Structure 1
Amino acid sequence: MKTKLFLSSLLVVCTLFTACAKKNDQTTQPADPAKQNTGNTDAGTSASVVDNADTFEKAISSKGTWIVAITKDLTVNKDLVVEGEFKNGKKDDKGNDQIQRKIALYSQDENRNITARFTLTAPKMTFRSPQGSLQHGTFKGDLYVDVKGFQLIDAKVDGNVYFTSEENKSTFKMDDKSSITGKQEVKK
């Protein structure tokens, strides 16, 4: 009887110790792409996880957040504008804050494996945030790139991509997993 009590007590202590240790482990990354560990978090580095058009529109505004992650397919029946300059909470090699704006069209597990991809649909989306990207999902509509250094990362644009300058087009990057069904051209 005493042995069972001792083993039960030991099990409870070990469980508590393990839970407390995991809470303090800064290397554990959350399953949600919008909740990645970015160090000290403030209004500029926080994230928005959204599941409706109104919240999405607010999140992509200049008063929004550096990363906007949708949690399901989303349709917005008006033109969208992604604007504002945001810090992602990371530093570059020189210790300067990194600027980034990410639209995450996916969810992932605790090992960063993509578990679902989503489609964002709108007639038009204009991207004005520096170091912007669409990642791991589909955008249905025409995309206007009004910033240099925009990226598609494992993303599909089911529509056209228009660049507002030759520089914006020449600094655009798209990985080999990404695709665009329409044309890519400069259109002022």
Structure 2
Amino acid sequence: MKRNVILGMLLILAILISGCTQAPATTDKKDAETTDVVTTASLVNTEDAFIKAISKDGTWIIATLGDLKIDSDLVLDGEFVNGKKDDAGNDIVQRKIGLYTQDDARNVTARFTLTAPKITINSPKASIEHGTFVGDVYVTATDFQLKDQKIEGNLYFTNPEAQATFKMDATSSVTGVQELKQ
């Protein structure tokens, strides 16, 4: 089992590194002001590595390698692009916390739990996927998503736009309240 998890993580890392390329430098002042960082993925299995990865100087995707318990409040900060372009040729903004491992066919092979008193989502177009977060989630950014994700706590939106643009798929759940809390 341990061998399969290690092989799976190495495969995920190879896929993510090959699929994530750095976007070319831009001379557009608007793009330069709004996009903080373009990076590849970060595989983490310690509190310090996770906190660094979710910072404004971190990575666009943070993939955990096991359960993590962090005793301090967390903040997902910064605007990141994922190395892909939309149909108009613009960089795609995205930020993802993946609480899972997957095989080469992208099937989820293990799910993990992240526990913290609270996490604040400041990164636009962010998602938490395929695991469990134990604690409260505060969303300030637009277009936040839960994908096959369980929140054991409350989901608070700090502004109406964050609440209006929130999406949650049918396999996700929130055990507490979902409400605007300004």
CA drift of 1:53 comes to 0.5
Report the AA paired with residue 19 of structure 2. Answer: T
Unpaired runs of at least 5, structure 1: 1-29
SS in 2 for 1:61: coil
CA drift of 1:31 comes to 3.4
2:90 to 85, 91, 96: 96
Corresponding residue pairs, total: 159
Unpaired runs of at least 5, structure 2: 1-9, 24-36
CA distance in 2 between partners of 1:146 and 1:69 (Å): 22
Could you give the per-residue CA deviations for residues 65-99 of structure 1, whole angstroms, max 9, x where no partner exists?
Answer: 00000000000000000000001000000000000
Aligned to 2:12: 32
CA distance in 2 between partners of 1:33 and 1:167 (Å): 34
Alignment of 1:111-150 (within 5 A): 111-150=105-144
1:63 to 54, 57, 63: 57
Aligned to 2:161: 167
SS in 2 for 1:32: helix
Determine if the alignment matches structure 1 residue 109 to structure 2 residue 103.
yes
Q: Using structure 2 for the length normalisation, give the TM-score.
A: 0.83
CA drift of 1:44 comes to 1.4
Contact 1:33 1:104 in 2 (8 A): no
CA drift of 1:41 comes to 3.6
Moved over 2 A (4+): 33-43
Contact 2:70 2:115 in 1 (8 A): yes
Identity %: 55
Aligned to 1:184: 178
CA distance in 2 between partners of 1:52 and 1:61 (Å): 15
Q: Using structure 1 for the length normalisation, give the TM-score.
A: 0.81
